[in-house]
Structure 1
Amino acid sequence: MKQTSTHQGFLATRRGFQHELVVMLLCFAGFLFLPQEAWAQCDTPLTYTKQDPGCGQEAGSITITGPAGSSVRYSIDGVNYANTTGAFTDVEPATYNVTYGVIDTNGDLVCTSAPQVVTINLPPPTPATPTVVITQPTCQLATGTLQVTAPTGVAYSIDGTDYTNTTGVFTGLTEGSYSVTARNSNGCTSGIYTAVINAQPQTPPAPTATVSQQPTCTLATGTITISAPTGTGLEFNVNDGPFQTSTTFSGLDPDNYNVRVRNADGCISEPTQLTVNPQPLTPAPPTVDILQPTCLIATATLTVSTPTGVAYSINGTDYTNTNGVFTGVAPGTYSVTARNSDGCTSGATTATVNAQPQTPPAPTATVSQQPTCTLATGTITISAPTGAGLEYNVNGGAYQSSTTFSGLEPNIYNIRVRNADGCISEPTQLTVNPQPLTPAAPVAQSPQIFCSATNPTVANLVATGNNLKWYNVATGGTALASGTALVTGNYYVSQTSAEGCESARTLVSVTVNTTPAAPTAASPQIFAQLLTQQLLI
């Protein structure tokens, strides 16, 4: 964009002090030595045009269009007046003081015009080269798609001409090379991203294939062989299974099969359908359920659940069994097979009958802790048998690996041991006795008062109960000896049963009063007859 402006003035007022001083001196000299027409020329209005940098440019230009003349010099910094044409190119974006000056016949600058402030603006931004995601044609879709992911907020083109696309998505593109560019609202166009849309990959024809091996009486599966197309990069599958490079599919169960070929581009052909026939009356290997010997039964039972409607054998010779149930089978390994009326024999299923598990002996155990006065429960400890895999219970409760059962209420207990095979021993019976009874706290009068003159002791305290014990603390402590002297305070008494169970303690408040001294009196005391007698104390 060009811009023209005309200004008048005598001195530049926005420059520094040094520039103003130079101009003033020059003008003063011109005033003294120049003709009046030279001064008039410095007053001529300055006109100019400017050109800001365009898209992709780094600099603009300033052109001073007037005044003109051989003695006129031009400057855009107010210092350098060497320019005689008024044209300044490669002007970087900045603010400039544009002036002109007049020189005398000696080439000296005698005056300058007032400066015009001219700003060269920054160039408009140019979009970055586009970032493009390419979706190539597929086996099912003949065209591709280009999606510009950056920059955004601009217009896009794939031919450098049509910039009507603002989404950045170009669909339905045929095979070819495309020049992708972006253009912003300033009209600046980015660099080119070359995007190539490939040709649509070709889909191979349906394969030529045969069932080269149908199932037989001794072979339950079939084989499919593909004869065309074959070659490098081709893979094959049946019934949408995994692809393989081999043209042979063996071990196929009877079924209908769709055979397809896939090329290196990932394109999959239409299917060729083939059928693997059912195996001719050949029983499948039997499914056998084994009821193993138990702790109580020494033999096993084998039950064939499938196939049905055939004969069965556990030795490969005798096929007289038609119900599939074999009882009383001793420990050992058996090959269970099935044979149909066509004489086709199934593969063998191995059935192993284990040895009868052993039942452990009744445990050796004791009541290692009977209930006591302070413990309401007992403990049973098992000493044999012990070891890995053994568990124990009492009275049919939960089994545990620990040989100790604590916290048992008084009762009769049956103790059993179970091994890893689940066999349970006969019980050992033990009794946890009832807890000894703890007597009630004794009855005692409180308070109990004594005179110090009697020298009272613990033996003088009175309570009702058996085997009484006196304490000077509510709990704990040591029983006081009967000869312990009493003092004023709290005492506590308990009684103990024949089993040694001590009751709770009863509080007795004791007061030991000080006995007063004997009174003082005059002696003898003598009275006269007929006078009132008076006792003097």
Structure 2
Amino acid sequence: TAPIVGAITQPTCTVATGSVQLSGLPLGNWTINPGAITGSGATTTINNLVAGTYNYTVTNADGCTSLASANVLINTQPPTPTAPIVGAITQPTCTVATGSVELSGLPLGNWTINPGAINGTGTSTTINNLLAGTYNYTVTNSDGCTSLPSANILINTQPPTPTSPIVGAITQPTCTVATGSVQLSGLPLGNWTINPGAITGSGSTTTINNLLAGTYNYTVTNADGCTSLPSANILINTQPPTPTAPIVGAITQPTCTVATGSVQLSGLPLGNWTINPGAITGSGATTTINNLLAGTYNYTVTNADGCTSLPSANILINTQPATPTAPIVGAITQPTCTVATGSVELSGLPLGNWTINPGAITGSGATTTINNLLAGTYNYTVTNADGCISLASANVLINTQPATPTAPIVGAITQPTCTVATGSVELSGLPLGNWTINPGAINGTGTSTTI
């Protein structure tokens, strides 16, 4: 592009030529014409211009030539210079202890600025390295003409740079809070801004919240715009994982002989864990909880990081099924001469359906009679509808069926005679012990008799 015309220095009282500052020059080496001026950099100043009108082209390292710049008019030699015009004042900064001032309205050609015996050319200049204080300047052109003093220039004291924030208590993420925080102290007086985050505030301490896992360090910028060195590194850990709720597996209910149940839990976290209620500790993905009385349970698990799961599904442990009492032996019917078997009445049987053993006798109701019992000794248990078996009943003795005697054997028969109107008969084969012969209700003992 065409060079951009900047500051033009006109001739002074003692210098007949001026100069011009050109900017917007191409990268690399270039040649400015007229004048075959070679150089590099984005700006340059063309000096020693006699009164007249100029414009410039620039040819880059590739040999390409721009359009001409705007016209540059160099005036005829000026009279005694005016007082330097105070322009932009740059105050000391956090990192630079001195200030500067831009002076313009300087005479064309060479000049000397005092105090400081600062020599130069151009209509403006910047005086650097000014310590805190008040200054004013005169300019003397090359003809020896000196201007009146400029306006006063106040250079402030350098603003202080704050110290690095001091890292205090670090709060790490917890099982229920995904972010951490850090306390910073040693912050500067007045308003400040902490970065990263553009966090504004005041006071010597602050806490930075909502920090995701990672490494942080912080600078603080005070009200003067001065920024400290970074703080020490702050490590925010990853949020510890919360375990999933234990998975309810096989449930073992109380039995007739075991009053408690158990449950198998799976899906437990890696490492050591604690299951509650019960403060049951262990490790591994599964476990069985024993000795559970009747009731409803659910369980949480706390992992090695101290994070606790939601509760498991409900686990119902039933009441232990009741074991029936031993059957009560009631009336016993013994075998008779004509019935070879006996029977027994049992009472105190459980509610609902039951099974009596031996015999696998099924039924319901509080009493029953067991028939067809051969001679022998018996006792009975009863199993209720829950499958629980009682203790054995008292012994039940069924006697041997009493023997039926054989028919009397007819022996000698004595017939009536002329003088005796009745006869008699001898019977033998009579049973041992007492007996009664009918008809006649004849009582006796012995194996034979005569009727």
TM-score, structure 2 normalization: 0.45
Considering Cα pairs closer than 8 Å and 6+ residues apart, tell me whether 1 or 2 has the greater RCO. Answer: 2
Q: Going by fraction, where is strand more abundant, 1 or 2? A: 2
TM-score, structure 1 normalization: 0.39
Q: Going by fraction, where is helix more abundant, 1 or 2? A: 1
